[in-house]
C-alpha cells in the first residue's frame, strides 16, 4: 500500500486565494521589519564582539546565583544561559576597554569568581574573544553574502526563464528572508554566523521549489496555448503539489530531529531552517507563482479561446472562469 500525502489529482484553485495570501504576507513582512528594529535582533558574539566562556558545573547550575556573582565584578553586561544540559552554562561578557590583555584579565576574574562559587570544580570548556573590528566585518560580510545570493538568483532565473519569473523568485526569497529575521527578533534566538548559513540554505531550498513549479508552468504554456493563464498556473501548482509537500515533509522530519536531539550548538540553525522550509513552501505557491499572473506572463494565455474548457479538464484542474 503506497502512502500519498495528497491525491494523485488535485483541483485546488490557488490563484483565487492569491489576494488574501499576498495581503497576509505583506502584513507579516511589515511586522517582521518592525520587529527587527524593536525589540531588535539578538546579535551573538560573532557580530557584536565580546567574550564568550562555556563552563560545566558538577551539578545543575544555579544561574541566578552565578549571574548575581558575575554582575558584581564590574565587567559590564554579563549574560548567562543554559547550554543544552543543566550543568552547561554559556557566559557572554561585554567587550572590555583595551586590547587582548584586558580581555584575558576579565576572563581570569570570571574564573576566580566561579571557582569560589562552586569550590573550584568548574570545568572551562572553551573561551572565545571577538574584537569590534572582526565582528563588524563578519556582520558586513554576512549581509553581503545574503544580498549577493539574491542577485545571483535573479540573474540565473532571468537567463533560464523570462524576467517575470526572476521577479517572482526574488520577491518570494526576500519574503522568506524578511520573515525569518522577524521570527528571530520575536523569539530572541541568537543571530550569528550559523544563522547566516541557515538563511543562505533557505534561499537555495526555496529557489529549488520555485524552479520546479516554474519549469512546469513553462511546459504547460507550450502544451495549453489557449488556456487562461490563471487556470494554467493552477494546473502547474497542482501537478507539482505532491512533490512539493513530500519534499518539505521529509526535510522537516530531519530538521525536527536535529532541533530536539542535536544539542544547543545547532539549535538556532535548525530553528531557522524549520521556519524557512515552512515559509519557503508557502511563498513558492502563494507568492512566486501568483506574481507571474500579476505581471501578465505570456499574454497568449490571457484570453480564453474555444476548447479551453477541454484543455483544463484534460489537465485535471478546475475549469476556467477564474
Quick one: pLDDT at residue 304? 40
DSSP output for 212-281: HHHHHHHHHHHH-TTS-HHHHHHHHHHHHHHHHHHHHHHHHHHHHHHHHHS-GGGHHHHHHHHHHHHHHH
Mean pLDDT of 72-98: 82
Nearest of 208, 228, 245, 248 to residue 317 by alpha carbon = 228
CA–CA separation, 44 and 184 (whole Å): 12
Q: How confident is the model at residue 1 (pLDDT cuts 50, 70, 90)?
A: low
**Least confident interval from 66-80, 191-205, 275-289:** 66-80
Greater confidence (30 vs 136) lies with 30
Domains with residue ranges and CATH for the chain? 14-43+135-314 (1.20.1640.10), 50-130 (3.30.70.3400)
127 pLDDT more than 90: no
Please enumerate, as own/partner, the contacts of 270-273 that have beta carbons within 8 Å and a separation of 24 or more.
270/198, 271/187, 271/189, 272/180, 272/184, 272/189, 272/195, 272/198, 272/199, 272/202, 273/198, 273/201, 273/202
Dihedral sign, Cα of residue 275, residue 276, residue 277, residue 279:
positive
Quick one: pLDDT at residue 19? 93
32 pLDDT more than 90: yes
Cell of 284: 513558492
320 pLDDT more than 50: no
Percent of the chain residues topping a pLDDT of 70: 89
Distance separating the N- and C-terminal Cα atoms of the chain: 37
130 pLDDT more than 70: yes
Q: How confident is the model at residue 314 (pLDDT cuts 50, 70, 90)?
A: low
- The model carries a pTM of 0.77
Which range among 112-126, 149-163, 172-186 has the greatest average pLDDT? Answer: 172-186
Nearest of 270, 261, 195, 163 to residue 36 by alpha carbon = 195
Quick one: pLDDT at residue 237? 94
Gyration radius from the chain CA atoms: 25
Quick one: pLDDT at residue 174? 93
Quick one: pLDDT at residue 255? 94
Are the CB atoms for 123 and 94 separated by under 8 Å?
Answer: no
Cell of 279: 515559509
CB-CB neighbours of 16 under 10 Å = 12
Greater confidence (304 vs 180) lies with 180
Nearest of 206, 204, 214 to residue 149 by alpha carbon = 204
Mean pLDDT of 202-223: 90
pLDDT tens readout for residues 242-256: 889 989 999 999 999
Mean pLDDT of 261-282: 89
Mean pLDDT of 109-127: 83
164 pLDDT more than 60: yes
86 pLDDT more than 90: no
Quick one: pLDDT at residue 318? 47
DSSP output for 184-222: HHHHT-EE-HHHHHHHHHHHHHHHHHHHHHHHHHHHHHH
CB-CB neighbours of 19 under 10 Å = 10
Percent of the chain residues topping a pLDDT of 90: 33
CA–CA separation, 41 and 80 (whole Å): 17
120 pLDDT more than 70: no
Mean pLDDT of 53-61: 86
Q: How confident is the model at residue 298 (pLDDT cuts 50, 70, 90)?
A: low
Per the prediction, the chain carries an average pLDDT of 84
Amino acid at each position: 500500500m503506497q502512502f500519498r500525502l495528497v491525491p494523485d489529482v488535485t483541483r485546488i484553485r490557488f490563484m483565487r486565494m492569491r489576494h488574501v495570501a499576498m495581503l497576509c504576507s505583506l502584513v507579516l513582512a511589515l511586522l517582521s521589519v518592525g520587529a527587527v528594529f524593536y525589540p531588535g535582533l539578538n546579535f551573538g558574539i560573532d557580530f557584536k564582539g565580546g567574550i564568550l566562556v562555556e563552563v560545566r558545573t558538577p551539578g545543575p547550575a544555579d544561574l541566578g546565583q552565578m549571574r548575581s556573582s558575575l554582575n558584581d565584578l564590574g565587567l559590564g553586561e554579563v549574560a548567562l544561559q543554559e547550554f543544552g544540559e543543566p550543568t552547561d552554562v554559556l557566559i557572554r561578557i561585554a567587550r572590555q576597554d583595551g586590547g587582548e590583555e584586558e580581555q584575558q584579565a576579565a576572563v581570569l576574574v570570571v574564573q576566580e569568581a566561579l571557582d569560589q562559587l562552586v569550590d573550584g570544580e568548574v570545568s572551562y570548556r572553551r573561551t572565545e574573544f571577538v574584537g569590534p573590528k572582526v565582528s563588524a566585518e563578519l556582520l558586513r560580510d554576512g549581509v553581503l553574502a545574503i544580498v549577493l545570493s539574491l542577485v545571483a538568483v535573479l540573474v540565473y532565473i532571468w537567463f533560464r526563464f523570462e524576467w517575470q519569473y526572476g521577479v517572482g523568485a526574488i520577491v518570494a526569497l526576500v519574503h522568506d528572508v524578511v520573515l525569518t529575521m522577524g521570527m528571530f527578533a520575536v523569539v530572541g534566538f541568537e543571530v550569528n554566523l550559523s544563522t547566516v548559513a541557515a538563511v543562505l540554505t533557505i534561499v537555495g531550498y526555496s529557489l529549488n521549489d520555485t524552479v520546479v513549479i516554474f519549469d512546469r508552468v513553462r511546459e504547460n504554456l507550450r502544451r495549453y496555448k489557449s488556456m487562461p493563464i490563471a487556470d494554467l498556473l493552477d494546473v502547474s501548482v497542482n501537478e507539482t503539489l505532491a512533490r512539493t509537500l513530500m519534499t518539505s515533509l521529509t526535510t522537516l522530519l530531519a530538521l525536527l530531529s536535529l532541533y530536539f536531539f542535536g544539542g544547543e550548538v545547532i539549535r538556532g540553525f535548525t530553528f531557522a531552517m524549520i521556519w524557512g522550509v515552512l515559509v519557503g513552501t508557502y511563498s513558492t505557491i502563494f507568492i512566486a507563482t501568483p506574481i507571474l499572473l500579476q505581471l501578465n506572463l505570456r499574454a497568449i494565455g490571457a484570453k480564453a479561446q474555444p476548447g479551453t474548457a477541454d484543455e483544463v479538464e484534460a489537465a485535471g484542474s478546475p475549469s476556467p472562469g477564474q
